[in-house]
Structure 1
Amino acid sequence: MSKFISFFNFSIKNILDDSLSIIDQARIRLVYYGLLLAMVGIVVILPNAITLHDDIQLISAYFLLGAFVVLFKFFTYKPDTVFISHALLIIGSFFMLFSVYVTFQSINIIIIQLIILIILYSFYMLGARWGTIYSLANLLPVMGYLLYSSFNNTLLSIKPEKIDNYTMIVGLFFNFILIMFIQGHFYGAFLKNIKQLKELATTEKQLNEKLEIAMHKSEQSSQVQSDFLSTMSHEIRTPLNAVIGMSNLLMMESPRPDQKENLEILRFSAGNLLTLINDVLDFNKIESGKIAFESIKFNLHELMNNICGGQMLKANEKGLNFQLHVDDFFKSRYVIGDPTRLSQIIFNLVSNAIKFTTRGGIKVEVSCAQDRLNEVVVKFSVRDTGIGISAEKVSAIFEPFTQESITTTRQFGGTGLGLAIVKRLLELQNVNISLVSEVGVGSEFYFLMTLPVSSEMIIPAAQPTPRVVLTNMDRVDYKLANLQVLIAEDNPVNVMLMKKLFTKWGITPVIAENGERAIELFQYGNFDIILMDLQMPIMDGFEASKIIRKMPDPRKANVPIIALTASALFDIKDKVYDSGMNDYVSKPFKPNELVEKMLTLVTPQEA
């Protein structure tokens, strides 16, 4: 009991607690009222025993009355039903056996009643285990006595006592009352318990129904959020595609120095806007639990050089020294993991380091912390000489939309999502990121990642495979000039941009304003590749691609199709491949990326 009970308490109201179960409350009432009833019964019998000068009955009555009074007082002060029940059962068992073997040396109806009381009381108060123990402790000696007495009249030489009629009647009456009280009390308690369970089941059912409704609403809300992000992404990316695309086209036309500076600012601002949009979409994808990690073989040494290649240029533009060191171990061994997500993590960390560093430099290290034969523990470290982070802000910077201070946000910009994305991506792979930083000195972000090692060794190529990289977009690559390209695009600004861009490459594309028109033009024309926008009126790109893949002419049915999408749907990649398209490019796209994917899918004719 948690509440205070006075030593002088005699009331059951101070013992009962609403926090107790119905069964526990019934047990408390049974002990309390059972002891009272037993004491009343002894008090009623006691005058008759005194009148008859029956010493054994008198001593037994005094003993039982004293024991019951002590237990009753103890119970009203310390209501421990288990202890009291054991005490009562031990006293009852002893009294029963003493009466059978010594006092009466026979088994009468009162003894039988007492055995029934002990059996009922032990099971109801202490459960099946102790109920069985106490039942057998009383039944076996009685059965033994019956077997013995069938061959002998008495067990002892002591003359047995006889119960007078008055004591017999009173004993029977109070024993029956106790039996009825036990049965009736617990029967009522069980009924209440069953009723309570039914009410709980009904309440639980109602709560489950409410939970289902809430989950359904949550799923609807999540879907609405996803659709909203997809729509907003499409609506923002579409004009942004035109801004970045036109900026790139103007940069190709040898602008004057002052024009070039303005175009650089325009392109830089558009790129920042695109980065912010991508951060929000990536974070939403992670928080929605819709991130799936790949497990593929990749060259970590090559991956790190590719990630840091472009970042080196950014660092050099700011006058920063950029160092990349990758252990020689990774030059000859493939590792297995998700290179895309690892690239995202390293890119964010390096971008942050460059953003918050104005002097000194950045050092990126990839080292083999442990070589465990079939797997390797890799330590990734990004160190800078930037502004540093105060100790009290270290944990906060990993929270979404949080930077070290408002001044930092105003000075350096950004959403504060980069490190939150890094932390979430690592946590999903059971990896923790650590930070050592000092204000004004710099910071080091590092983490340990365990990656399986492929049994296949990296064999250095004698001559590297040439890659198509357009270093000067003013130069028309002869491999593109003979391509027949069909573009399905409904946005007039994007159509104009694509025409101008492809003109630079010596291509005159055919434009279809929707999926239905694209199929019609494709049926009567010969095209090497199709660039398919996904969201178009009349017929979208998914449906158009499925129809093309079902065409009877194998050459037409197998034409390469690249999706052009500004959508942010999490499963857009799967939808693109499921509809039969070969690859996709996200708007706003980089011209080099589009060219490389086109040349990968098409074997162009020599000019």
Structure 2
Amino acid sequence: MCQKASFFNFSIYKILSKEQSVLDQARIRLLYYGFFLVFVASAALLTSVYFQGQMMLAYTSLFLMFSIIVLFKALTYKPNWLSISHVLLIVGTLLNVSIVYISLQSINIVTVQVVIIVIVFSYYMLGQKWGLIYSLLNTIPILLFLFIEHNYSYVIRIKPDKIDQSTIVISLFANFILLIFIHSHLYNAFIKNLKQLKESAYKQKALNQKLEKAIEKAEKSAHVQSEFLSTMSHEIRTPLNAVIGMSNLLMMGSPRPEQKENLEILKFSANNLLAIVNDVLDFNKIESGKLVFENVRFDLVELMYNICGGQMLKAHEKGLQFTLTVDNALKNKVFFGDPTRITQVVFNLVNNAIKFTPKGNVWVSVTSQEDRHNNLTVRFSIKDTGIGIKDSSLKNIFEPFTQESLATTREYGGTGLGLAIVKRLLELQGTHIEAISKIGEGSEFLFNMELSVSTEVIAAGMGKQAETAEEEGLKSLKVLIAEDNMVNVMLMKKLLSKWKIIPTIAENGERAVEFMQYGNFDIILMDLQMPVMNGFDATQEIRKMADPKKARIPIIALTASALVDIKDRVFRVGMNDYVSKPFKPDELLEKIQKLITLPGLNSSGISGHVL
């Protein structure tokens, strides 16, 4: 409906709008000009029958003229053509029946024409359903009248009017003009509408082609982005591996106090940079929909102490009181789930709590909510007495690249991805995180996680690594390292020398295959991106060797790449496991222990520093 029309409007242009379809505009025009034609015809009939003294027909014509005036005003004020068409057809039906049964008490060519006009008008204006209804409402009374007149002679007490030839001529002329106008006007509208549909089909086809090209371009862009992230990950994490690794090795060498302080600053900065890189890569992995959750055995209590151990030291260095509370009902239980992702969620929340708490306390609580034999609902709570969050910002903090304010970003740093990653990881596991906060009083983050529980019980101290490794078992280990980066080679040599291992170094995949052909090794640490021959191709060549022992040698992939499908590719080519750089030495040793069996190699003497 057009908003420009007022009650005193008489212009058709103010009741037409671009939002209306071609057919709707044609229907409004038909009513607008059709009312004029019907009014003129009714006036001519009124004049003819009045002077002949046919008063019932005169009143009928007068009523029709009045109805036309009211409907015309309604159309020019509020052009609801659908309702106006219904009213017009009802008036036409009543008048047609009254003329047949009362005014004329007979059927002639004029009444038949009126029925035809009603049928045509109802179908054009209202469609098949209402067209059929109004057609039956007009034809059934006419057929019933013919039946009564033929069998019983229709007679009522009211004397019928008699119309002369001039009245019939006027009626026929008006009806023919009206029929021609309806057909001509709407036929033209239908042709125009078909042309528009054809043009729309061509436009839609063109848009579909553009959309297909856009989708193809987006897919290529996503692939390029993934490749770019992989390259950047490799290029950034490789030197970070050297920086963090060298910092750890230097700190293990009993440095002077001032040297230790400098090394701690260097290590802290490198770890911060690594955390930013990891956040971006993890978020990309989540958004791409290719994140896969593991379902492995783990000890939740031990996991929580491992997560909060380093964070507790960080809190104490800042002067904060750190409290970890774990429900006794969770102890000595074997859980199934993804400990890596649980670590990521809890670490992010605890790290935030410490970061945004200048003084006071940080509490981490893990409690059993509901124990259903093989499933247990665990409630995690991370609470602090920090700066707090505004109510208006509570929803936004979980959006990517968002922090509460620019001032917060400048003061505390960060990418704004931590909480977004937490939310996405929990949502993918079917749970929701709740945030409660007050400015100046602190914040609390809570979430429930349903975990599968095994019926077996963990022995005391299960999973904790011993303080020292059995040197004799490590000495006998023959390790082949395929690595092209000389800094990483030096780091690996220094690390393995701490374990009394002298490794063999292959500077590329081709040399690694040659070493395997002429030598004997217990395990291979294989970098993936190397010149001449990469780690994937080298692994495939080794797996094809005739000697079964050499073909089945355990191979652990070492890479700084961030491609989301890198793990699948690693296992697809026949590698046994995967460690991402920079890695923790105890993580590497744990994977080695799983793949080989040597005397004395059943405990770890490796610290948890990142290399």
Normalised TM-score (structure 1)? 0.90
Deviation at 1:99, TM superposition (A): 2.6
Report the aligned-residue RMSD: 2.9
Q: What is aligned with 2:605?
A: none
Q: Can you list the C-alpha shifts for 1:198-234, whole angstroms capped at 9, x where unaligned?
A: 2222222222222232233333332222222211211
Partners of 1:331 and 1:458 within 8 A in 2: no
Deviation at 1:534, TM superposition (A): 0.3
Q: What is aligned with 2:100?
A: 100
Q: Can you list the C-alpha shifts for 1:146-186, whole angstroms capped at 9, x where unaligned?
A: 22222244433666544322222221121122122222222
User: Judging changes above 3 Å, is the alpha-carbon distance between structure 1 residues 477 and 386 closer, same or farther for their aligned structure 2 residues?
Assistant: farther
Partners of 2:315 and 2:354 within 8 A in 1: yes
Rounded Cα–Cα distance in structure 2 between residues aligned with 1:404 and 1:112: 78
Rounded Cα–Cα distance in structure 2 between residues aligned with 1:391 and 1:103: 77
User: Does residue 1:143 correspond to 2:143, yes or no?
Assistant: yes
User: Judging changes above 3 Å, is the alpha-carbon distance between structure 1 residues 189 and 484 closer, same or farther for their aligned structure 2 residues?
Assistant: same
User: Judging changes above 3 Å, is the alpha-carbon distance between structure 1 residues 139 and 243 closer, same or farther for their aligned structure 2 residues?
Assistant: same
Q: What is aligned with 1:66?
A: 66
Partners of 1:390 and 1:437 within 8 A in 2: yes
SS in 1 for 2:501: coil
Deviates more, 1:283-292 or 1:517-526: 283-292
Alignment length (residue pairs): 600
Partners of 2:54 and 2:163 within 8 A in 1: no
Q: Which runs of 5+ in 1 are unaligned?
A: none
Rounded Cα–Cα distance in structure 1 between residues aligned with 2:423 and 2:9: 61
Q: What is aligned with 2:448?
A: 449
User: Judging changes above 3 Å, is the alpha-carbon distance between structure 1 residues 559 and 322 closer, same or farther for their aligned structure 2 residues?
Assistant: same
Q: What is aligned with 2:484?
A: 490
Rounded Cα–Cα distance in structure 2 between residues aligned with 1:453 and 1:504: 39
Q: What is aligned with 1:503?
A: 497
Rounded Cα–Cα distance in structure 2 between residues aligned with 1:536 and 1:562: 15
Rounded Cα–Cα distance in structure 2 between residues aligned with 1:166 and 1:85: 30
What are the residue-to-residue correspondences of 1:305-320 with 2, within 5 Å? 305-320=305-320
Deviation at 1:84, TM superposition (A): 2.7
Partners of 1:101 and 1:155 within 8 A in 2: no
What are the residue-to-residue correspondences of 1:518-557 with 2, within 5 Å? 518-557=512-551
Q: What is aligned with 1:363?
A: 363
User: Judging changes above 3 Å, is the alpha-carbon distance between structure 1 residues 264 and 95 closer, same or farther for their aligned structure 2 residues?
Assistant: closer
Partners of 1:381 and 1:444 within 8 A in 2: no
User: Judging changes above 3 Å, is the alpha-carbon distance between structure 1 residues 372 and 448 closer, same or farther for their aligned structure 2 residues?
Assistant: farther
Deviates more, 1:199-208 or 1:325-334: 325-334
What are the residue-to-residue correspondences of 1:561-576 with 2, within 5 Å? 561-576=555-570
Q: Can you list the C-alpha shifts for 1:335-384, whole angstroms capped at 9, x where unaligned?
A: 55433222101011112233344544422101234556775543311123
User: Judging changes above 3 Å, is the alpha-carbon distance between structure 1 residues 309 and 126 closer, same or farther for their aligned structure 2 residues?
Assistant: same
Q: Can you list the C-alpha shifts for 1:515-568, whole angstroms capped at 9, x where unaligned?
A: 122112212211110110000112211122122223333222211101110111
Q: What is aligned with 1:281?
A: 281
Deviates more, 1:195-204 or 1:296-305: 296-305
Rounded Cα–Cα distance in structure 1 between residues aligned with 2:167 and 2:406: 92
AA in 2 matched with 1:525? G
User: Judging changes above 3 Å, is the alpha-carbon distance between structure 1 residues 432 and 134 closer, same or farther for their aligned structure 2 residues?
Assistant: same
Q: Can you list the C-alpha shifts for 1:2-48, whole angstroms capped at 9, x where unaligned?
A: 41433333332222222212222122112222221112223333443
Deviation at 1:334, TM superposition (A): 5.2
Deviates more, 1:35-44 or 1:73-82: 73-82
SS in 2 for 1:150: helix
Partners of 2:470 and 2:600 within 8 A in 1: no
Q: What is aligned with 1:187?
A: 187
AA in 1 matched with 2:264? E
Partners of 2:323 and 2:362 within 8 A in 1: yes
AA in 2 matched with 1:451? E
What are the residue-to-residue correspondences of 1:362-401 with 2, within 5 Å? 362-370=362-370, 376-389=376-389, 394=394, 397-401=397-401
Q: Can you list the C-alpha shifts for 1:490-528, whole angstroms capped at 9, x where unaligned?
A: 112222222233233222222222112211221221111
AA in 2 matched with 1:92? G
Deviation at 1:476, TM superposition (A): 7.2
Q: What is aligned with 1:219?
A: 219
AA in 1 matched with 2:311? Q
AA in 1 matched with 2:551? A
Rounded Cα–Cα distance in structure 1 between residues aligned with 2:550 and 2:409: 53
Deviates more, 1:294-303 or 1:443-452: 294-303
Rounded Cα–Cα distance in structure 2 between residues aligned with 1:392 and 1:88: 56
Rounded Cα–Cα distance in structure 1 between residues aligned with 2:22 and 2:501: 86
Q: Can you list the C-alpha shifts for 1:434-453, whole angstroms capped at 9, x where unaligned?
A: 032442x5x23222324154
Rounded Cα–Cα distance in structure 1 between residues aligned with 2:82 and 2:367: 65
Partners of 1:276 and 1:415 within 8 A in 2: yes
Q: Which runs of 5+ in 2 are unaligned?
A: 602-611
SS in 2 for 1:457: coil
User: Judging changes above 3 Å, is the alpha-carbon distance between structure 1 residues 406 and 34 closer, same or farther for their aligned structure 2 residues?
Assistant: closer
User: Judging changes above 3 Å, is the alpha-carbon distance between structure 1 residues 570 and 58 closer, same or farther for their aligned structure 2 residues?
Assistant: same
Rounded Cα–Cα distance in structure 1 between residues aligned with 2:584 and 2:338: 23
Q: What is aligned with 1:436?
A: 437
Deviates more, 1:190-199 or 1:557-566: 190-199
Q: What is aligned with 1:515?
A: 509
Partners of 1:93 and 1:138 within 8 A in 2: yes
Q: What is aligned with 1:196?
A: 196
Partners of 2:2 and 2:17 within 8 A in 1: no
